[in-house]
Amino acid sequence: MGVNGISCGRAVFRRLGEADMEDVSSLEALCFDTSWSAEQYREACRGGWLIAFGAFAGGELACFVSLSAAGGEAEILNIATRQAWRRRGLAEQLLRFACERIAEEEAAVTVFLDVDETNAPALALYGKTGFSVTGRRVKYYGGIHDAILMSRGLSAAEKQ
């Protein structure tokens, strides 16, 4: 059992705070072409609108998910797993953990996201965790790839 978190196998899942944002920024920079700086993340935490959860494994932040939540709705901003920890179920477990926590703590009833149509791993992850396709934004990413819009309900009946 981690501090304010739960352990699952070898990983510990917990909500992240300002002190974790250096690690979040570094992991994001490893996984994406563009990333927020640690200070941008800290500022968003201080502003109270950024919510983040992390999975710690092997003594490091192995996976994070960032969200915003307001008025009963939440939006997934980003999710990434360190290369060495991929395909071990971390993103799936962390996403489920985050959805439960934002339903309880932020009274979120629906969570939304958009994902690049070419991102097969992410599309499969979201499909497996109960998200359904609700729409498409044509050429949303870089004027080239479409964004697939997805959502899922967070009520007890809709848990998957």
Ligand X SMILES: CC(C)(COP(=O)(O)OP(=O)(O)OC[C@H]1O[C@@H](n2cnc3c(N)ncnc32)[C@H](O)[C@@H]1OP(=O)(O)O)[C@@H](O)C(=O)NCCC(=O)NCCS
Site residues for ligand X per CB under 6 A: 31, 63, 78-81, 86-92, 115, 119-122, 124-125, 128
**Which one, 46 or 127, has the nearer CB to ligand X?**
127
Is residue 141 within 8 Å of residue 115, measured between CB atoms?
no
* Shortest reach from residue 40's CB to ligand X, in Å: 18
CA neighbours within 13 Å on the CB side: how many for 7?
8
Lookup: tokens for 95: 């996403």
**Residue 107: CB partners within 8 Å, gap ≥ 6?**
72
**Which one, 107 or 133, has the nearer CB to ligand X?**
133
Distance between CA atoms of residues 38 and 44, nearest Å: 10
* Shortest reach from residue 158's CB to ligand X, in Å: 19
**Which one, 9 or 72, has the nearer CB to ligand X?**
9
Lookup: tokens for 8: 């699952």
* Shortest reach from residue 61's CB to ligand X, in Å: 12
- Run of H or E residues at 6: strand 5-8
* Shortest reach from residue 46's CB to ligand X, in Å: 24
**Which one, 2 or 127, has the nearer CB to ligand X?**
127
